[in-house]
């Protein structure tokens, strides 16, 4: 599959891309790309955001800026594949959605910043609006890494030990339940032995 991350901070992903399972997936033919929102903005001086209609604090990422980035990358906005806008108010990310996304041929992750995206991005340029939890991060980059990590480790061959993915917390094999506890040596530790 191909995963593209649309972000104002592509350099955040250099470390992520160098991780073993991500590099394994790329070695197997999967692709991970980054689209810098500022690189294709139609506005002057790299502007990507604007003040909110109706007032209020903070800036909002403009819909025409996201549209321009998608058009430059795919020749179409919305793209012809699954496109996830990351937002604290979105649908809660879970193992079932990770499996669903891992089965897609392509996935675009849209990282917000500031007050977030103009709502028309969520409504008209994304297929899904997804939250990684009921808390607010400073930007969508860490959330995109959560989604990309959970998706990539489900790609056959990415982990190098397939059984770990099949029988894992929240997987179908465990009927959505957390995994059983694990123990390793020493058998006896400060009076606590392996049950």
Instruction: Please report, as ranges, the residues that interact with ligand SAM according to CB under 6 A.
Output: 86-89, 111-113, 115-117, 131-133, 135-140, 143
**Which single residue brings its beta carbon nearest to ligand SAM?**
112
Residue 155 burial (C-beta neighbours within 10 Å; 0-12, 13-18, 19+)? buried
Please list the alpha-helical segments (H only) found in the chain.
13-17, 20-27, 63-74, 95-102, 119-120, 140-152, 163-166
Q: How far apart are CA 69 and CA 63, in angstroms?
A: 10
CB 131, min distance to ligand SAM, A: 4
- 24 versus 170: smaller Cβ distance to ligand SAM: 170
- 47 versus 164: smaller Cβ distance to ligand SAM: 47
Q: How far apart are CA 23 and CA 25, in angstroms?
A: 5
Rounded to the nearest 10 degrees, the angle between the axes of helix 140-152 and helix 20-27 is 60
CB 164, min distance to ligand SAM, A: 26
CB 99, min distance to ligand SAM, A: 19
Q: How far apart are CA 84 and CA 128, in angstroms?
A: 5
CB 157, min distance to ligand SAM, A: 28
- 54 versus 75: smaller Cβ distance to ligand SAM: 54
- 79 versus 112: smaller Cβ distance to ligand SAM: 112
């Amino acid at each position: 599959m191909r995963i593209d991350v649309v972000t104002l901070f592509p350099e955040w992903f250099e470390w992520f891309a160098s991780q073993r399972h991500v590099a394994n997936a790329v070695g197997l033919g999967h692709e991970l790309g980054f689209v810098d929102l500022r690189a294709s903005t139609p506005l002057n001086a790299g502007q990507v955001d604007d003040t909110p209609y109706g007032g209020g604090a903070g800036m909002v990422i403009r819909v025409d800026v996201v549209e321009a980035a998608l058009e430059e990358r795919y020749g179409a906005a919305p793209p012809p594949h699954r496109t996830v806008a990351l937002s604290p108010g979105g649908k809660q990310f879970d193992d079932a959605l990770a499996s669903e996304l891992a089965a897609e041929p392509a996935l675009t992750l849209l990282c917000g910043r500031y007050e977030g995206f103009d709502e028309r991005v969520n409504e008209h340029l994304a297929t899904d609006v997804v939250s990684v939890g009921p808390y607010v991060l400073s930007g969508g980059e860490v959330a995109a890494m959560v989604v990309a990590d959970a998706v990539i480790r489900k790609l056959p061959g990415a982990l190098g030990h397939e059984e770990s993915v099949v029988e894992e917390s929240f997987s179908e094999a465990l009927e959505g339940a957390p995994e059983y506890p694990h123990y390793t040596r020493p058998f006896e530790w400060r009076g606590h032995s392996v049950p």
